[in-house]
Amino acid sequence: MSLPADYHMHTPLCRHAAGEPVEYAKHAAALGLDEIGFSDHSPMRQDDFDNWRMNISQLDEYVENVRKARKDFPQLTIRLALEVDYLPGHEDWIRELAARHPWDYFIGSVHYVSDSWDIDNPAKLSEWNHRDAFEVWSAYFERLTLAAESGLFEIIGHADLPKKFGHRPTRAPACAGSSGAAGCTPLYEKFLAAVQKSGCAIELNTAGLRKDCREIYPSREILQLAFQKNVPITFGSDAHAPGEVGMNFAEAVQLAHSVGYAECRRFVQRKQRSVKF
Ligand SMILES: [Zn+2]
Ligand SMILES: [Zn+2]
């Protein structure tokens, strides 16, 4: 039995995080974690795609920074990973990225529901005013399902990100007992069936607790459905500062235990194993 590894951490190369990898590692060691993984925002084929990720030319530097943390904290297992944006049509680029370095895992995340709207971007918050929440959730889960089906990822990131600012569907038929996203259960079912088929994991991401939604990603409803389908899990703080490493893990562990989980997944060189937590 050990504390779950924190598999979702960023670095300043993405331009919206603070603290060098060694500082994240120091914080993890102080918390008693035995394993962490850096998964900074992957570069796009075009550097000007947006302003919240490293450029392609910085990828080697990123890998070097993670290796330096490994050297400075030999008592800690430090995995090398990326949080990769999934957009339909980007599959070849993602394969190219995969071939560049000896990654331990890729987290596949959907932030973009179109080429121009990253739904979690605070600078584009007003976009939600022109959209129907159910349509956004549907478009998001459609892409997330494609991400799972692609076979490009070991982990699917923050599976119900559209709740970040509190935008939840209300118009579709109510699904009693859920934590609010009315009518979304079929979207979850379809997504999780794809996850199950591809054999990847989903993450419990505690960053949601620090956002307006005040809830771990994904919701208890999604996690319960995932457990029923034997979908494996990982844990991540989505830390954008050293002090966020391992944040609210006790709560995440409790949530996972309460729906029945006793094991989580770890990765080395894109190979999986299960450990108790
Ligand atoms: Zn970020
Ligand atoms: Zn993300």
Residue 17 has pLDDT above 80, yes or no: yes
From ligand 2's centre to the CA of 93, what distance in Å?
18
Closest CA to 30 of 275, 225, 178, 247: 247
Asked if the model's pLDDT at residue 273 lies above 60, the reply is: yes
pLDDT, averaged across the chain: 95
Please report the pLDDT score of residue 170 as a whole number: 82
Ligand lying closest to the C-alpha of residue 244: 1
Task: Please report the pLDDT score of residue 145 as a whole number.
Answer: 98
Ligand 1 centroid to Cα of residue 39, in Å, is: 10
Whether the pLDDT of residue 1 is over 60: the answer is no
- Ligand (nearest to CA of 12): 1
d(CA 128, CA 122): 11
Ligand nearest to the CA of 54: 1
Sign of the four-CA dihedral 69, 70, 71, 74: positive
Q: How deeply is 173 buried, as exposed, middle or buried, from its count of CB atoms within 10 A (0-12, 13-18, 19+)?
A: exposed
User: pLDDT value at position 173?
Assistant: 52
Cα of 173 from ligand 1 centre, angstroms: 33
Q: What average pLDDT does the segment 131-154 reach?
A: 97
How many A from CA of 16 to the centre of ligand 2? 12
Instruction: Give phi and psi for 156, each to the nearest 5.
Output: -100, 125
Region of poorest pLDDT, from 35-39, 77-81, 130-134, 253-257: 130-134
Question: How far is the centre of ligand 1, averaged over its atoms, from the C-alpha of 128 (Å)?
Answer: 20
pLDDT > 90 in the chain, percent: 94
pLDDT in tens, 205-257: 999 999 999 999 999 999 999 999 999 999 999 999 999 999 999 999 999 99
Can you give the pLDDT at residue 183? 85
pTM of the model: 0.95
pLDDT, average across residues 61-86? 97
Pair type for strands 155-156 and 201-205: parallel
Convert the pLDDT of each residue in 158-195 to its tens digit.
999 999 999 999 865 544 444 455 689 999 999 999 99
Q: For residue 221, report the distance from its CA to the centre of ligand 2, in Å.
A: 20
Give, as one character, the DSSP assignment of residue 176.
T
Stretch 48-67: mean pLDDT: 98
Per-residue b/e over 121-156, b at no fewer than 16 CB within 10 Å?
A: eeeeeebbeeeebbebbbbbbbbbbbbbebebbbbb
17 Cα–ligand 1 center, Å? 7
